[in-house]
Structure formats: structure tokens, C-alpha cells
Amino acid sequence: MSRLIPQHWKTLQKVFGKAGFRHDRTAGSHLVMTKPGIPRPVIIPMYDEVGRDIIASNLRTAGLSREKYFRLLKGL
């Protein structure tokens, strides 16, 4: 299995957008994305490099597997 590597916030916005999440609002320097049926929003900090731990946490929140994440990332 591939390892998670830090990504630019715009890349993560596109990945979660392809997974059905929509930009709900911006809170300071954080992008808040929501999807119907998912109780908690995905929070993406607007960093040049969002760390692996934040990406992993957002994947758990979104209910996405690592395999699905890498497929979406590859499709960009």
C-alpha cells in the first residue's frame, strides 16, 4: 500500500470534492467541507503542505479508505 505524503490544500480540496464533499464555508485559514450523510465536516487547513496525520484524520471522518483516496488522487 502506498504511503500518505503531505499534500497542498488545493489538492486535498479537489480529492474530497471528487468524493462528493462541497465547500461549506471558510473559517479563518481552514476550509470546511460537508457531504450529506456524513455527520462531521472535513476540515482542511490552508497550508502549502498538509501533514499525513491531518490527511489520515480527514479520511476517517469522511469514511474514505486509503485505496479510494489514492484512486481519487491519481485521477486529478
Q: Which of 48, 74, 43, 36 is nearest to 60 (CA)?
A: 43
Q: Which of 48, 6, 49, 44 is nearest to 25 (CA)?
A: 44
pLDDT tier at 2 (50, 70, 90 boundaries)?
Answer: confident
In a domain? residue 2: no
Question: Using CA atoms, how far apart are residues 76 and 72, in angstroms rounded to an integer?
Answer: 7
In a domain? residue 24: yes
In a domain? residue 56: yes
In a domain? residue 59: yes
pLDDT tier at 1 (50, 70, 90 boundaries)?
Answer: low
Taken in order 54, 58, 60, 64, is the CA torsion positive or negative?
negative
Q: How many domains is the chain partitioned into structurally?
A: 1
**Residue ranges making up the domain that contains 35:** 9-74
- List the CATH number of the domain containing 70: 3.30.920.30
User: 44-76: per-residue pLDDT in tens?
Assistant: 999 999 999 999 999 999 999 999 999 999 998
In a domain? residue 23: yes
